[in-house]
Every structure is written in C-alpha cells, then in structure tokens.
Structure 1
Amino acid sequence: MQKIESLNNIAHENLKVNPEFSAELGDNLVSTVTFITEFSEVQKEYPILCRKDPETGEYQAIVFFGLQKDENLFLTEAEPSSQKYVGWRAEYVPAALARGPFSIGAQRDADEGAQGQKPVVHIDMSHPKASCDRGRALFLENGGHSPYLNYITNVLDTINEGIHLTKHMFNALNKYELIEPVTLDIEFVDQSKLTINQFETVNTDKLSQLSGDALEGLNKSGFLQAAYYMATSMSNVRKLIDWKNRKLSAGGDAN
C-alpha cells in the first residue's frame, strides 16, 4: 500500500533515496508512458509507439524497454564507474521511470486564496527506493535541495508539462489522420516468434503529403518534429531484438 507524503526538509531531513535501477527495485517494466517534452532524448534510445488508454480513451505515447511482459532489456549489472545511471544501459531514462517514488501533488497557496493551488513534490514512503540508510540525500545541511532532488524536480516538470502538451499533440495528429495501427512480427535466433500489435505509429507518407498550411501549423506547434521523432524511434526496435538475440545465443534468460 502506498504511503504518500508531501516532501519537506524537516520531516524528510535525513531521507535518502536509492537512485539505482534493478528488478528488485521495481524497474522490470516492459514499457511506460512518455511525453512530448522528452521525445528528443527518448527517441535516441527507445521505440515510441502509441495507444488509447482503455480507461480514458485518450492517446498515450508508450516507450518500450523490452518485447515481452516483465522484460526490461535496459536493466544491466550495476557498474557505477561506467554508467550514468547505475543499473541502466542508456544515457537517458524516461521521466515516468526516472521519477521513482516521487510525484507531483497540489497544495493550497495561501497567497492565492481558496482557489489557488501550487504543485508540490510528494514521495511514496512505501516505495522500494525510499530508504533512510542508503542512497542519495534529498536535502543539504542548510535545508536546501540537493543536486539529486533538483534532478527529480526537473523530471517531474517534464511529466507535468508533458501531460497537456502530449494531449494537444495527439489531437493535432488525429486531426490529419496521421496515426495508424502497426504490427511487429519478430523472429528470434532460436526460431521463436513474437507478434506485437494493438499499438499505433505515425504514417510518414501521409505526413509528407499534408498541405503547406497544415505542415506549417504542425511545425510552429512543435508537433511536426515530435511526429518524426516517433516515426524514427522505431529503428530502436532492432536494438531490442539484437539484445534479446544475444542473450538467447548465450543460453541466458532473455527476460
């Protein structure tokens, strides 16, 4: 059960959070949501697809870490001296995973009256990365934010700003019917086969055939570049296949 608390430098003065990545810490996810505010970094490392949220019916951008349930091919043995993010083999970790036990909540702002609210950082004290004896400190001795907490704040800003912008992006792409279903038929070195469907991607042919005014509008909003980021990120599927094939060839468990 979650134990959510509003983060502050008094109650959490000595709190430390484990910044590493591992299956034991809850990072063995095959995918998570991603946001337009981080597409420029995400597309360098991961495939980005999209699908409708079954609860809201709204489109979400999804980043893949593996090809099957509970498979995260980006998790690796911890080598602090050679990894930017310990336990993770990439130069960027998508915000929804990087945030760990942290989230954004709302708090009433006394200066703005009863209607005024401001975003504040919350922490789930039951999360496996929340610890009092090891990890990164959140606050400095004088009560200020540590570099790690500043990083987490930026991660949460990426999510908070990205939620609304990503919704507007999908509204624009759907206006021009640029989203289409995609099926990935994969065969591995051990001759096992896998089909991934129920996801969608950007139709670049339709995108290139849009009128000048439509392209200009998408470009001004930043959605044109985002659409191409989504399309070109699909080349990263091959990386995931290669990584899994290497494990299979070595006789290891690819999960």
Structure 2
Amino acid sequence: MPNHALLNNNEHKQMRIITQRGAAYGDAVMSALTFPAEFRELQAHYPIVFAKNQDGTSFDPIALFGFQQGENLFLGSGPGLEGWHKGGWDAPYIPLTVERQPFLIGRPADGSQDGMLIHVDLDSPRVSATQGEPLFLSYGGSTEYLERISRVLRSIHDGLETSKGFIEALLHLELLESFVLDIELNDGSQNRLAGFYTIHEERLAKLSGEQLARLHEAGYLQAIYMAVASLSQFRELIERKNRMLAGANAADR
C-alpha cells in the first residue's frame, strides 16, 4: 500500500528522487492515464485509446505502452534521454501521470477545496537520501526539479477536470466504439488487444457543421483528431514488440 505524506522542507529536506526510468522504479506498466490537453504531445509516440473507468460508468483516455499488463515496450537500456528523464525510456516525451511519480496532489486536512498540497509516496523505490534530484535548497526553498513537479501536478489536475466534459461530449455524440486488434508477430505468435475503445471515425465524419463547431468551441475537436491520428502508432508499437522478442530469442541462443 502507498505510504503518502505531506511534503515539507523540514521532514524531507534531505529527500532525493531517482528520475531514471526502469522496471525497478515502477515503470513496467502497460498504459498511463492522460487528458485532452496532452494528446498533441502523445500522438507522435503512443496510441491513445479509451478504457472504462473502475465503476464502469464512464471512460478514461489512456496512452498505451504495450499489449499486456506489466509490459512497457518503451523501457530499455539505451543511452538515455536528456534532462530529468535521463535513463531507459525510449521516447522524447513521457506522459505527465508517469513523470509525476512518486508525487500526488492532496487536499488540506480540513477537507477544503482551497489550495492543493504536494504529497509523496514514502515507500516508492524512487525515494532516496543519496541518489537523484534534491527537492529543497539548503536554505529551504524549492529546487527547480520540485518546481517542475508542482507544474506537472497542476497540469494533471486541470487536465483531468477538463477530461470529464470531453468524455461527456464523446458519449453524447456516440463517438466511442470498442475495437479489437489482432496481431501476428514476426515469430508467428498470435496476439489480441481487446477491451478498449477508440473514436468512431464514420460517425465523426457525419457530424453536422453545428456539432463540429460546438466541439471546436469547447476545445475538444483538436483532441479528437489527435486521438485518431495516434492510432498510427500501433505500427511502431508492434515493431517494438517484434524487436523485443527478437532480442530475447537471440539472448537465449
């Protein structure tokens, strides 16, 4: 279970965060939650699909990293990336809900909605006293890294709030449809991706000018087209899977 604590510069002044990417740090995940404002960045690297939320009453947009639980085809041991993401993630953009780990937004103890507080999961493998990015300066102020995390958390909070109206609009116009992706890999194995939804392109094409204008005015139309465009990334995801299997087979010889 996560061990969340309110971040402060007294108790956590020596805390550092390991920003290297890898399975050991919790990055071996199939997908990550996202939101419409992030679709433009994501669509160049990951397929964006929709999944029913936990109670089955609505949907969440997600970025896919693999074809099965625990599979992240973007993890590797290559030369790494620049900046805070330096490590084993083979894409120049990492979804914000992944980047924010091990931090999350908390509410004040009195339950008020005023202000948002940064909490940290003390049991996260990213938390260290000796490695990684420091959070606080010697005089107690926030480091540039922590300021970045604060902006990331704000973007996630605002993005998820906007996402609610976006999903409602898609459902109202019946623009989500389930899909099944059958894949034959280079080794001859058959694989199926199911349980997700995507934009119904035929219905989208039949929307009236007034309906399209309303989507545009709400700021949703671009996100819809970004989600459609992102589906071309399935080809690259399949190639990543083929390369992974080929490397595993070569290592076994």
TM-score range normalised by the length of the shorter chain: over 0.9
Measured after TM superposition, the shift of residue 57 of structure 1 is 1.7
The match for 2:206 is: 209
> 2: distance between equivalents of 1:87 and 1:243?
14
The answer on whether the counterparts of 2:15 and 2:129 sit within 8 Å (CA) in structure 1 is yes
- Partner of 1:14, secondary structure, is coil
**What secondary structure sits across from 2:46 in the alignment?**
coil
Q: What's the counterpart of residue 171 of structure 1?
A: 168
Q: Deviations over 1:157-179 (max 9, x none)?
A: 12111111111101011111111
Question: What's the counterpart of residue 246 of structure 1?
Answer: 243
Deviation (angstroms), 1:103: 0.2
- 1:130 Cα deviation from its structure 2 partner: 0.8
Separation in 2 of the partners of 1:56 and 1:67?
21
How far does the alpha carbon of each residue in 1:30-56 deviate from its partner, in whole angstroms, 9 at most, with x for none? Answer: 112111121111111100100211325
* 1:143 Cα deviation after fit: 2.0
Measure how far apart 1:76 and its partner are: 1.1
What SS is found at the alignment partner of 2:24?
A: coil
Partners in 2 of 1:243 and 1:169 — Cα distance? 31
* Structure 2 residue corresponding to 1:192, chosen from 189, 192, 195: 189
Q: Give the whole-Å Cα distance in 1 for the aligned partners of 2:164 and 2:179.
A: 20
Deviation at 1:115, TM superposition (A): 4.8
Q: Does 1:11 align with 2:22?
A: no
* 1:175-200 C-alpha deviation (Å, 9 max, x unpaired): 11111111111110001011111111
**Identity over aligned residues, as a percent?**
36
RMSD between aligned residues: 1.8
Alignment: residue pair count:
248
User: TM-score, normalising length from structure 1?
Assistant: 0.91
For structure 2, the 5+ residue unaligned runs are: none
Residue 232 of structure 1 corresponds to 229
Q: Which residue of 2 aligns with 1:31?
A: 31
The alpha carbon displacement at 1:150 in A equals: 1.6
- Among 111, 134, 138, the alignment partner of 1:137 is 134
One-letter amino acid of the counterpart of residue 108, structure 2:
Q
Q: TM-score, normalised by structure 2?
A: 0.92
Matched AA of 2:225: Y
Q: Which residue of 2 aligns with 1:72?
A: 72
One-letter amino acid of the counterpart of residue 164, structure 1: E
What does 1:60-139 correspond to in 2, within 5 Å?
60-77=60-77, 79-80=79-80, 82-84=81-83, 85=85, 86-107=87-108, 115=112, 117-139=114-136
| Ranges of 4+ aligned residues in structure 1 off by more than 3 Å | none
Structure 2 CA distance for partners of 1:252 and 1:6, relative to 1, 3 Å: farther
Classify the secondary structure of the residue corresponding to 1:103.
Answer: strand
